[in-house]
Chain A
Amino acid sequence: MTFMLTCPICGRRELHEFLCGGQERGPRPPQEGLSAEAHFRYAQFRSIPPAPQPEWWYHGQGCGVWFKATRNPATNREERPGG
């Protein structure tokens, strides 16, 4: 199912112009003292809560910029501040 995403440079465009870079997971945990299990969890585990989540997107067919957008997996729609 398609939807519209808002590129910070080009404005609202159709989904097919973008590539999803996955969830925004925050900074990588410090390497010092990083256990194999903690590293595995950071690298491999994802949670997909049915609530808005920040994601990375790449406007490959447009301006070529990486940006963060908020998408709700429950509705598969972008959610923007103020609607």
Chain B
Amino acid sequence: MTATATARIRRSPVRFDATALERTSRDGWDIVRRYSDEGGGPWLVDLSHRCRWDLQHPDVGNQRPFGVPVPSKPGEVAISDGFAVNRMNRTQASLWHLGGNDRPATPSGVGFTETTDGHCMLAFLGPETASVFEHLSDLDVFDPERGLPRLVQGPVLHVPCQVVALGSNAVILTLSRGYGRTFAEAALQFARPCGLRPAGEARFDEWFVRWASTRSSDPSLPSR
């Protein structure tokens, strides 16, 4: 078997109808870093190549995947060192690698399942993100009584999703891979009145670094 035949080729389910200005290849994924004419926001960013896992454990609240403690209550989100740990229910948490371009190894242990290739991951960023989301779902992901960041599980465009609102200008969601392409097309169409446009991964990286530094310098936020 040739080297070409054994090389991994991994494709995002999402295709944006936009011209890529800058591309990179990482771990078999062809990733667009920037699109032409991204505009001033809001943006839709395809993050399907970012690593994700599910953790299932009867005592999930006392686990520390990647050194991050799993939150004690369903709906809570812990973010540290570029990882988001979302408590889903009594026994499960989802783990998202949001920061950095490296590929973390799957933690040892029987409870971890890598879900990167089975899901699609999208980020809504920038001004008017809340208005964009109101065009797509009845879910109140910015409920001030619950605080942010927060995990909400429910339908967006009638597709079951895990939705994490990081702030009033950033929402990240995952959904089954098969819905990815049409979901992105529908989201762009429904939120066109808000000016939603596709953007490359660099837009998310820049936002996340800025957001994480703001968080770490705010003493009112929990350290984890």
Residues of A within 8 A of B (CB): 9-10, 13-14, 16-17, 59-65
* A63-B74 in contact (CB<8A): yes
Cα distance, A60 to B90, chains bound together (Å): 16
Report 30 cross-chain contacts, Cβ distance below 8 Å, ordered by A residue: A9-B74, A9-B75, A9-B89, A9-B153, A10-B75, A10-B152, A10-B153, A10-B154, A13-B154, A14-B138, A16-B155, A17-B154, A17-B155, A59-B153, A60-B160, A61-B154, A61-B155, A61-B160, A62-B153, A62-B154, A62-B155, A62-B160, A63-B74, A63-B88, A63-B89, A63-B153, A64-B89, A64-B153, A65-B89, A65-B90
Contact code string B16-47 (vs A, CB < 8 Å = 1, else 0): 00000000000000000000000000000000
Cα distance, A10 to B75, chains bound together (Å): 8
Residues of B within 8 A of A (CB): 74-75, 88-90, 138, 152-155, 160
Other A-B contacts than A9-B153, A16-B155, A62-B155, 8 sampled, CB-CB below 8 A, are: A9-B74, A9-B89, A10-B75, A10-B152, A10-B153, A17-B154, A61-B154, A65-B89
6 shortest A-B CB distances, which residue pairs? A63-B153, A9-B74, A62-B153, A61-B155, A61-B160, A62-B154
Across chains A and B, the number of contacting residue pairs, with CB separation under 8 Å, is 30
Cα distance, A59 to B137, chains bound together (Å): 17
Nearest residue (CB) in B for A13 is B154
Contacts of B74 in A (CB 8 A): 9, 63
Contacts of A65 in B (CB 8 A): 89-90
Contacts of B138 in A (CB 8 A): 14
State how many angstroms separate the Cβ of A53 from the closest Cβ of chain B: 25
Contacts of A59 in B (CB 8 A): 153
Contacts of B88 in A (CB 8 A): 63
Contacts of A62 in B (CB 8 A): 153-155, 160
State how many angstroms separate the Cβ of B80 from the closest Cβ of chain A: 23
Contacts of B153 in A (CB 8 A): 9-10, 59, 62-64
Cα distance, A64 to B74, chains bound together (Å): 12
Cα distance, A10 to B160, chains bound together (Å): 13
State how many angstroms separate the Cβ of A32 from the closest Cβ of chain B: 31
Cα distance, A9 to B162, chains bound together (Å): 13
Cα distance, A53 to B138, chains bound together (Å): 29
In this complex, which of A10, A13, A14 has the most chain B Cβ atoms within 10 angstroms of its Cβ?
A10
State how many angstroms separate the Cβ of A62 from the closest Cβ of chain B: 5
Contacts of A64 in B (CB 8 A): 89, 153
In this complex, which of B75, B152, B153 has the most chain A Cβ atoms within 10 angstroms of its Cβ?
B153
Contacts of B155 in A (CB 8 A): 16-17, 61-62
State how many angstroms separate the Cβ of B173 from the closest Cβ of chain A: 13
